[in-house]
Homo-oligomer: A and B are copies of this chain.
Amino acid sequence: MKKITLIVAVASCFAAFSANAQVKEDFVPSTTVQSGKKFPAVNSERCVRVQVTAPDAQSVKLDIGSVKYDLTKGENGVWTGESAPQDEGFHYYHIIVDGATIPDPTALYYYGSGHWTSGVEVPAYDDDFYAVKNVPQGQVREMFYWSESCKSMLRCFVYTPEEYEYNLSKRYPVLYIQHGGGENEYGWASQGKVAQIMDNLIAEGKALPFIVVMACSDVPAPQAERPAGRPAGGFSMANFGAAYDKVLVDELIPTIDKTFRTIKDSDHRAMAGLSMGGMITKMVTLKHPDVFSNIGIFSGGTITVADADRTPGFRETNKVVFVGFGSRELENRVPGFGDGTDPKEETEDVKASGVNAHFYVSPGTAHEWLTWRRCLYQFAQLLFK
Measured CB to CB, the residues of A under 8 A from B are 2-3, 6, 34-38, 52-60, 77, 95, 97-103, 105-106, 108-109, 114-116, 132-134, 137-146, 153, 158, 165, 168, 184, 189, 195, 218, 229, 231-235, 259-260
Contacts and interface: CB of A to CB of B under 8 A. Distances in A.
B142 A142 contact: yes
A101 B97 CA distance: 11
Considering residues A132, A144, A158, which has the most beta carbons from chain B within 10 angstroms of its beta carbon? Answer: A144
A11 to B, nearest CB: 16
A219 B25 CA distance: 30
B52 A98 contact: no
Given A109-B116, A168-B168, A101 B53 contact: yes
A97 B105 contact: no
24 contacts: A6-B229, A34-B115, A35-B184, A35-B218, A35-B233, A35-B234, A36-B114, A36-B233, A37-B115, A54-B98, A55-B98, A57-B57, A57-B98, A57-B100, A100-B102, A101-B105, A103-B103, A109-B116, A132-B153, A133-B153, A137-B144, A139-B142, A140-B141, A142-B189
A2 B237 CA distance: 13
A55 B153 CA distance: 37
A259 B54 CA distance: 46
B100 A103 contact: no
A108 B116 contact: yes
A56 B99 contact: yes
Q: Counting chain B CB atoms within 10 Å of each CB, which of A3, A97, A138, A233 scores highest?
A: A97
A52 B103 CA distance: 13
A209 to B, nearest CB: 15
Q: Which 10 A-B pairs have the closest CB atoms?
A: A36-B234, A54-B100, A56-B99, A35-B233, A55-B99, A56-B98, A57-B98, A139-B141, A36-B231, A140-B142
Contacts of A132: 144, 153
Q: What copy number does this chain have within its complex?
A: 2
A139 B105 CA distance: 30
Contacts of A98: 54-58, 97-98
Contacts of A109: 103, 109, 116
Contact of A139 (B6, B116, B143): B143
B53 A100 contact: yes
B97 A3 contact: no
Contact of A153 (B53, B134, B165, B235): B134
Given A35-B184, A56-B58, A60-B100, 6 more contacts: A35-B114, A35-B231, A56-B59, A109-B109, A141-B141, A141-B142
A242 to B, nearest CB: 19
Contacts of A103: 102-103, 105, 109
Nearest to A169: B168
Contacts of A106: 115
Nearest to A53: B100
Contacts of A145: 137
A57 B108 contact: no
Contacts of A231: 35-38
A134 B116 contact: no
Contacts of A105: 100-103, 115
A285 to B, nearest CB: 26
